[in-house]
Structure 1
């Protein structure tokens, strides 16, 4: 099968490329080096010729809801329109557990993406997952002020990016399946504890300061909105096991 991966150099995308290649699929990564601009929509028709399925694992690092909506609207619209023109038969999209219950900030963009995919012209599969283990590392890098590390008060159910990639490739192989079962990690943790453990494991240090975020997003972080329900599938890699595999 010939697959194209949008976001193929990112946290999940690089694993999708490796997993799909390891299963014998031909994989194209949609990047500017191939003449593709996903936001502008340029270069897609030529690259998608002969592609059987597109996996969209793009993301944008923002909590500005309008910015997130603009990004996901542009990327999803451009991908789906080009796929329909050239005859791609399957669009697989990655979304976030609970985004529809907290459609603010980054998650507002995911709601727009889901609406476009599920109402679009290409047969589709939609997988929602919880945050990845790497989210703790991203927060540690973004919210440091000298020796202080501000971390949102949040309950998280982190899942391995590798396991997400394996599920996405399996869904590609299965064909269009609509909204499939959510995928979550094996345990619910506090984000402050995750960041502390990440800092210790990598020797980065810092004093973690819990910060309760205001508004609807802050409530969703705290009240379990972004935790998977009992019907979701569970990954097996724990956060502790992930920490042992990252470089110090």
Structure 2
């Protein structure tokens, strides 16, 4: 089976390509570096030629209101190109709880992407993943100074990027879900707790202070919004083990 992976040179996409290739599929990465532009549609027809399935893990360059226009245009172009190419399955990576956080522009943009896929002409699968372990450094940097890191007590169930890629590749290799599959890491943490674990593992003596208005996740109202439902696929990699493996 031929699978074109949009965003196939990035952190998740490159691993999706490798996983699909290891499974015996022809996996083709597509990205600006390979001549594909989602916003203009340039290179899409050539990238999708002969593809049975398209995986879209491309991300907006911003997390603000402009992300709505990005996903609206990019998704429309990709669906149209897929229909022209006879693609039989469109797969998108999204976020657990994405439709529950209208306060965040980026989450509204991803929810729009999902809705456009549902309304599109092609059978589809939506893989909703929780927050990536790899993003924890960025989260810590948003609201930190020399002495403290301010974080809300938002509950999350994060997972390793490698496990996200494995879940996306599995969905791409299977039949269309015409629905949503959730995936998450094995453990639930408060974000402030996760921050303290991270700092401790790195021998960083800054103090974590709970501030429920701090950073991107401070906008999330309600407990458990970012926790998946009972049918979620639970990934094997725990955060502490992941930290230890990275030294």
TM-score range, shorter chain: 0.7 to 0.9
Aligned residue in 2 for 1:73: 72
In the other structure, the counterpart of 1:59 is 59
Q: Which residue of structure 2 aligns with residue 33 of structure 1?
A: 33
* TM-score (norm. length: structure 1): 0.88
Contact 1:95–1:129, Cα closer than 8 Å, also in 2: yes
| 2:95 alignment counterpart | 96
Whole-Å separation in 2 of the counterparts to 1:217 and 1:155: 10
**In structure 1, the residue corresponding to 2:59 is in which secondary structure?**
coil
Q: Distance in 2 between matches of 1:221 and 1:241?
A: 30
More displaced, 205-214 or 52-61?
A: 205-214
Whether the 8 Å contact between 2:96 and 2:228 is mirrored in structure 1 is yes
Deviation at 1:54, TM superposition (A): 1.0
Deviation of 1:61 after TM superposition, in Å, equals 6.1
**2:23 matched residue in structure 1:** 23
Deviation at 1:150, TM superposition (A): 3.7
Distance in 2 of aligned mates of 1:211 and 1:63? 22
Q: Deviations over 1:193-248 (max 9, x none)?
A: 2223223434565443433228x9636365111111223222221111111222x4
CA contact (8 A) 1:184 1:232 kept: yes
**Separation in structure 1 between the aligned mates of residue 17 and residue 204 of structure 2, nearest angstrom:** 30
Task: Summarize the alignment of residues 207-246 of structure 1 with structure 2, pairs less than 5 Å apart.
Answer: 207-213=207-213, 218=218, 220=220, 223-246=223-246
Which runs of 5 or more structure 2 residues have no equivalent in the other structure?
none
Alignment of 1:84-163 (within 5 A): 84-105=83-104, 106-163=106-163
TM-score normalised by the chain length of structure 2: 0.88
CA RMSD of the aligned region, Å? 2.4
Question: How far apart in 1 are the matches of 2:62 and 2:31?
Answer: 20
How many angstroms apart in 2 are the aligned matches of 1:202 and 1:128?
Answer: 30
Give aligned pairs, total. Answer: 245
Residue matched to 1:42: 42
How far off its partner does 1:146 sit?
A: 4.2
Return 20-29 or 135-144, whichever deviates more: 135-144
Is residue 104–residue 217 contact of structure 1 (8 Å, CA) maintained in 2? no
